[in-house]
Copies of this chain bind each other. A is one copy, B any other.
Amino acid sequence: MKLLEEKIKKDGMVLNEHVLKVDSFLNHQLDPSLMNEIGKEFAARFNGNGITKIVTIESSGIAPAVMAGLHMMVPVVFARKKKSLTLTDDLLTASVYSFTKNETNEISVSKKYVDANDKVLIIDDFLANGEAALGLVNIVQQTGAEVTGIGIVIEKSFQNGSRKLQDLGLRVESLAQIASLTNGEVTFINEKVEEYIK
């Protein structure tokens, strides 16, 4: 997605070879107009797949997911990383290890909002090692629902999350695919391809 790639080039900050910081439009400050375009793009890519529900995870998945839900006209459920006092219904849970934070969170979704008849699109802001996405897949599959696809805003393609999900037979659509963050610079997969074609 050209608009997103340009935004990443312009406003993303490469902290090191593994970490890209996009706090100015996705992880702390949000660019609502860009989020809307991202929602439209997910809707276009999964149009005709009969999606009935979007599942994401707090907090940075919420903005892209709610915009996708708006354009696909389906509800969005966001998994919680911490148990809520008023969310006491039967919960489906999965353990998610975060490499960046070096901690394991138990994520949860209420059984009330996903069931065996659902065709689910999982949306998240980043895909790196795939831990969060795999946790969401685990939860959705516990309900008997189908994971119809996985929509990612930014994929760090030099890590193995996308491979792990595809090995499970899942379709992954990433709007920006980063080939590398070397020398303080973002290089996208399609730039590598263009270079190769030349």
Contacts and interface: CB of A to CB of B under 8 A. Distances in A.
30 contacts: A19-B86, A21-B86, A23-B86, A23-B87, A23-B113, A24-B112, A27-B86, A27-B87, A28-B110, A29-B76, A29-B77, A30-B76, A30-B77, A31-B75, A32-B70, A32-B74, A32-B76, A33-B70, A33-B73, A35-B66, A58-B59, A59-B62, A59-B80, A63-B63, A63-B66, A63-B76, A66-B66, A66-B67, A85-B100, A86-B100
Instruction: Give how many copies assemble into the complex.
Output: 2
A28 B77 contact: yes
Given A27-B86, A28-B87, 13 more contacts: A23-B112, A27-B84, A28-B78, A30-B66, A32-B69, A32-B75, A58-B59, A59-B78, A62-B63, A62-B66, A63-B63, A63-B66, A66-B67
